[in-house]
Amino acid sequence: DAGITQSPRHKVTETGTPVTLRCHQTENHRYMYWYRQDPGHGLRLIHYSYGVKDTDKGEVSDGYSVSRSKTEDFLLTLESATSSQTSVYFCAISVEGPDTEAFFGQGTRLTVV
């Protein structure tokens, strides 16, 4: 267990509303990632962070923003939720750097109606 907590675990929201998902780690690791997992697509990277206030886009970043003001917290915001953003969202950390394995949280199931 790499000490990763995602909140909330489940959320239902309406189209057009902003939504923020939180990832909290207790181990002070530098690299953090947000993925979404959809049937037929596998895990796809949304954004990642390599330090406080240092973030970069992944392959499916449109409609999402992130912030990392503290080492332990990485926030994912859906600026205006759409039904296509209904998914399971996973946070991950990389223990030693970008070229080592990632450890995942339990996921957040988001439904946009």
Partner 1 sequence: EDQVTQSPEALRLQEGESSSLNCSYTVSGLRGLFWYRQDPGKGPEFLFTLYSAGEEKEKERLKATLTKKESFLHITAPKPEDSATYLCAVQENTGNQFYFGTGTSLTVIP
Residues that bind partner 1 (CB under 8 A): 4, 31, 33, 35, 40-45, 48, 50, 56, 58-59, 90, 92, 98-107
The nearer residue to partner 1, 14 or 40, going by C-beta atoms, is 40
The distance of closest approach from Cβ of residue 104 to partner 1 in the complex, given in angstroms and rounded to an integer, is 3
- Smallest distance from the beta carbon of 15 to partner 1, in angstroms? 25
Consecutive H or E run containing 54: strand 54-57
Min CB(71)–partner 1 separation in Å: 17
Which C-beta is closer to partner 1: that of 55 or that of 85? 55
Nearest to 81 by CA among 25, 26, 21: 21
CB 93 within 8 A of CB 103: yes
Backbone phi and psi for residue 25, each to the nearest 5 degrees, phi listed first: -120, 150
Q: Judge whether 23 and 108 are in contact, CB under 8 Å.
A: no
Nearer of residues 18 and 95 to partner 1, judged by Cβ: 95
